[in-house]
Amino acid sequence: MRMLHEIAPHKYNNCYGAKRPPVPKDVALYYDGSMVMMKNHSDSRGCFTFEQLEPQAMQEAEYIFSIDDTAYYLLENAPQQEGLEMYPISSCRELCGTTAFAFVTGWQFYRFRKEHKFCSCCATPLERHATDRAYQCPNCGFVCYPKFSPAILALVTDGDRCMLVRSRRFSSSLSPVAGFVEVGESFEEAVMREVLEEAGIKVKDVRYIASQPWSYGDTIMIGFTAKLDGSDKLCAQQSELLDAGWYHRSELEDNRFRDSLGGQLVQWFKEGKL
């Protein structure tokens, strides 16, 4: 299983200079809150193209990115064609490849547009920026770009065992410690702080492993390993966690959430790669 953003040999192109008017084979994306519209054909869900829509849909479409030679656009109004249905955005994780990645990434741009209708300095309605993927205020010149927050993942190891937590929000899986990077600290300092806060232990030798864009939460996940430094006695942070524990490689099951970097870190440790 690959992570959500790993779509090779296909290539994601987020260069806004690639913006062009849509052609019939391009993909249209429509969202409403946490729902996404998909083509539902013979039990196979997926993206739909402008070929399937009324011609005026191409005029209102807003370019967001390309994958290979196909451009992807946001629609403002819901298409009424048959065979298109709304599904929870969370169900995109059941799809695979470029389809899942495009739906989830498009959702981040949809929410960026929806949440930036007015200037936060002077309350004037914002307009689309002429050259950048941004919105700007025609009154005061304020420009806002898509925002996302860095969040660390910390897989704490001690020889052949690792420390995993079960969060209150995602109680169905064991995961590394996760948390947002705060203003004024480095990623490594965030790892040490979060592990101490959530599990009550100290770590050293913080080592970068990989990163992953995670559009579901407007975050960029940065994954690290860190070695236990001192006592292994855990004290789980009650407000965030159900529990925290030490697990030997041999007792870990195949991680079900390997489309996420958190799941992959656990899987790589189980397989002896970390």
Q: Coil, strand or helix: which one is 196?
A: helix
> Least distance (Å) from Zn ion to the CB of residue 144?
10
Q: How far apart are CA 111 and CA 43, in angstroms?
A: 28
> Least distance (Å) from Zn ion to the CB of residue 63?
24
Considering only 74, 137, 201, 265, the residue that binds Zn ion (CB under 5 A) is 137
| Type and span of the H or E element at 31 | strand 31-32
126 contributes a contact to Zn ion by CB under 5 A? no
* Nearest residue (CB) to Zn ion, 1 versus 140: 140
Tokens 């949440």 locate to 115
> Least distance (Å) from Zn ion to the CB of residue 125?
9
* Nearest residue (CB) to Zn ion, 96 versus 134: 134
140 contributes a contact to Zn ion by CB under 5 A? yes
* Nearest residue (CB) to Zn ion, 15 versus 130: 130
Phi, psi of 196, rounded to the nearest 5 degrees: -65, -45
139 contributes a contact to Zn ion by CB under 5 A? yes
> Least distance (Å) from Zn ion to the CB of residue 142?
4
Site for Zn ion in 85-124 (CB under 5 A): 119, 121-122, 124
* Nearest residue (CB) to Zn ion, 51 versus 127: 127
Structure tokens at 140: 């005061």
Secondary structure letter of residue 50 according to DSSP: G
> Least distance (Å) from Zn ion to the CB of residue 158?
53
Contact yes or no for 118/125 (Cβ under 8 A) = yes
Structure tokens at 107: 């959702």
Show the beta-strand stretches assigned E in 102-235.
127-128, 135-136, 143-144, 149-158, 161-167, 177-180, 203-214, 219-228
Total binding residues for Zn ion by CB under 5 A? 8
Binding site for Zn ion (CB under 5 A): 119, 121-122, 124, 137, 139-140, 142
